[in-house]
Amino acid sequence: MAQLILKNVYKRYDGQKKKMFKKKKKKENDFAVKDVSYECQDGEFIGILGPSGCGKSTTLRMVAGLEKITAGEIYIGDVLINDLQPKDRNIGLAFEDYALYPPLSIYENLAFNMRAKKKKEDEIKKAIEYVAPLMKIDDLLDMKPSALSGGQKQRVNIARAIVRRPGLLLLDEPLSHLDGKMRQQLRQEIKRMHHEIKCTTIIVTHDQMEAMSLADRIVIMKEGEIQQIGTPLEVYDDPANEFVAGFIGEPPMNLMPSVIEKQGDKYMFTFEGSELQVEVPKRYNKVVKDKMKVILGVRPVDVLIAEEEVSSTPVPVAVYENLGDERRISVRVGEMLLSMTTPEDVYYETGQNVQLVFHEERTHLFDPETGGRIK
Ligand code: ADP
């Protein structure tokens, strides 16, 4: 088990520099990973989350030693591992592709790396007998990979990564190939496995559900840079910026360009291109000013349709969806749709005018220029 520390880590691939030079791309597109720093505590489960191409895999591959870092330092415990060979890093790796050896049985696949390390047969057997029930592959040990389903192959793949009991377990999109139900099952198995062996683990994923359900803390990346590090609840409840706010949560947070205007002793949001006005929560009174442009962020679950008359302007219902365990209602606000969800069994006609109430404590403001949070 180990603590992992990344200090101001950068990665620039050779091609990136040339591309930038040729096309005069902005300087910030120069690096696949930019100034990434974080600490992963001993036994912690970290999720690296972000859209495709934001540098998640590159970060993981640098930790594994599969990519050279351009600048910065990576430590496992207090050992600087920048120049350490992958095999000397005591790391277990499982990628999206299973890469099992087809001619070998599952037992032999699990034993392969330990044999290469000249481990004794009884030690190998003991290690496999420990991980096989953990990943629920006891019944598969005599089979060949070709006889296994995708989910079973990924179980074996992860079992192979942990069989040598590495200090650090690195999982790169291990569930991406799997379909919905299998994905959810294996996600739970991974969580249970981590609870059992308490190995410091990093999972790279573009799937927020996966990161939210598995990780103790999530590192959210965009264009090579960390946007926020926090527990699943922190990044959901307290997003650092507009990007994180829009990326975390399903359905996504409503992010509505609006102008704050003072009316009497109140501040009101006026939504871009719309007549809709809603009062600004009083807790923002000290940070807002008249005619200030903001992005108003509010989650669909935090918007309600008022049952009694309130001071907000009526807006028409555009879409009503009954999804069984929740209703999703979108209202038209100028050119935009603002969506809300409710577990209540209510029905609204398209075109019906409704008045909205926003959850005061859960309404966020962002700077339209920088995307930064206004608190
Ligand atoms: P993610 O895992 O978030 O999808 P990656 O780490 O794979 O992102 O990629 C980050 C950026 O680095 C992307 O712009 C990608 O095109 C670029 N990149 C990744 N691998 C290479 C490579 N071997 N050579 C050049 N550019 C690469």
Q: Give the DSSP letter string of 123-176.
A: HHHHHHHHHHHHTT-GGGTTS-GGGS-HHHHHHHHHHHHHTT--SEEEEESTTT
pTM of the model: 0.92
CA of 11 to the centre of ligand 1 (A): 10
Look at residue 17 in the predicted model and tell me its pLDDT.
58
Between the CA of 2 and the centroid of ligand 1 the distance, in Å, is: 27
ipTM exceeds 0.90: yes
Residue 311: the pLDDT is: 75
- Give yes or no for residue 58 CB within 6 A of ligand 1: yes
CA 55 / ligand 1 centre spacing (Å): 6
For 353-375, write each residue's pLDDT tens digit. 999 999 989 999 999 999 999 99
Query: 302: which DSSP letter?
Result: G
Q: What is the pLDDT of residue 99?
A: 86
47 within ligand 1 shell (Cβ under 6 A): no
On average, the pLDDT of the chain sits at: 93
Q: Report the pLDDT value the prediction gives residue 1, as an integer from 0 to 100.
A: 58
Low-confidence ranges of the chain (pLDDT < 70): 1, 16-29
